[in-house]
Amino acid sequence: MGPFAINFEHIEAERSIRTVCAYLGSFDPPHRAHQWIANYLADRFDLVLLLVPVIHFEKQISFPGNALPEQRLEMLRFLCQEKQDRLRYGLSPRILFIELEQFLQCIWPWAAVYLGMGSETYGKLLESRDYYQRIGKVWTEFEQNRLADLVRRTLVFNRKRSISGGICLPHEFKKLSSTGIRNRVAQMHARHVSPNEWPVLFADSLIEPVVDYIYSQGLYRDCSRSS
């Protein structure tokens, strides 16, 4: 399975696309900070891809503490509706950034390919050599040069003071985290809070269709097993 297996219609034929930015995240769940980032990128690139890694080095999916990849895609669908002409979403089995960039460049050889990510993920990008070694792949001067070039084409979003060349999130989103939201959801499930109250209680962190989906699917009931 390649990235964009879901909601990836007719993009390859769109030669008018000159810039592509792939933003990688767990999106578990996608919240308003993710929405702000997606809109920020959509205003600057011809096409933005919101990608959920199928395989993760540090995290294991534990349902219902975590949403399944397909459920995260459904929530991303709601997030992309505002700018669906430029936003797409999908699953990415490519767990190595350099390989992902090469894969995207093969799809759009005429376009400039960029990556977007949070500061924590950016740290993993810088440690790409270590991840190659962990899975037994050879790291050569070629990979080192590709990494150096990719770093120059990466947009980093930060909750705190912006790192050099990074983008600082607006103040109202700096404390938002998917982990914190999952914990809040678990507490509300445990207290049997009426579904009518959920949109109001999560208005500052989640768009209403995502709130409704989380409740209807019974997501995040047991966050003790989430990652």
In a domain, 10, yes or no: no
Please indicate, yes or no, if residue 196 is contained in any of the structural domains.
no
In a domain, 199, yes or no: no
Comparing CA positions, the residue from 166, 177, 188 lying closest to residue 28 is 177
Sheet bearing 154-158, strands edge to edge: 87-92, 47-53, 19-24, 112-118, 154-158, 167-168
CB-based burial label for 148 (10 Å; 0-12, 13-18, 19+):
exposed
pLDDT, one tens digit per residue, over 153-200 is 999 999 776 556 689 999 999 899 999 999 999 999 999 999 999 999
User: Does residue 98 lie within any of the structural domains?
Assistant: yes
Burial (CB < 10 A; 0-12, 13-18, 19+), residue 130, is exposed
User: Within a domain: residue 180?
Assistant: no
In a domain, 208, yes or no: no
User: Mean pLDDT over residues 210-216, rounded?
Assistant: 97
The answer to whether residues 153 and 114 touch, using CB atoms and an 8 Å cutoff, is yes
Per-residue pLDDT tens digits for 71-95:
999 999 999 998 888 999 998 876 6
In a domain, 197, yes or no: no
Report the number of distinct structural domains present in the chain: 1
Residue-number span of the structural domain to which 154 is assigned = 19-174
Q: Is the pLDDT of residue 67 over 90?
A: yes
CATH classification of the domain holding 152: 3.40.50.620
- Is residue 188 in some structural domain? no
Between 50 and 227, the more confident residue is 50
3-class DSSP string for the chain = CCCCCCCCCCCCCCCCCCEEEEEECCCCCCCHHHHHHHHHHHCCCCEEEEEEECCCCCCCCCCCCCCCHHHHHHHHHHHHHHHCCCEEEEEECCCCHHHHHHHHHHHCCCCEEEEEEEHHHHHHHHCHHHHHHHCCCCCCHHHHHHHHHHHHCEEEEECCCCCCCCEECCHHHCCCCHHHHHHHHHHHHHCCCCCCCHHHHCCCCCCHHHHHHHHHHCCCCCHHHCC
- pTM of the entire predicted model: 0.89
More confident residue, 130 or 63: 130
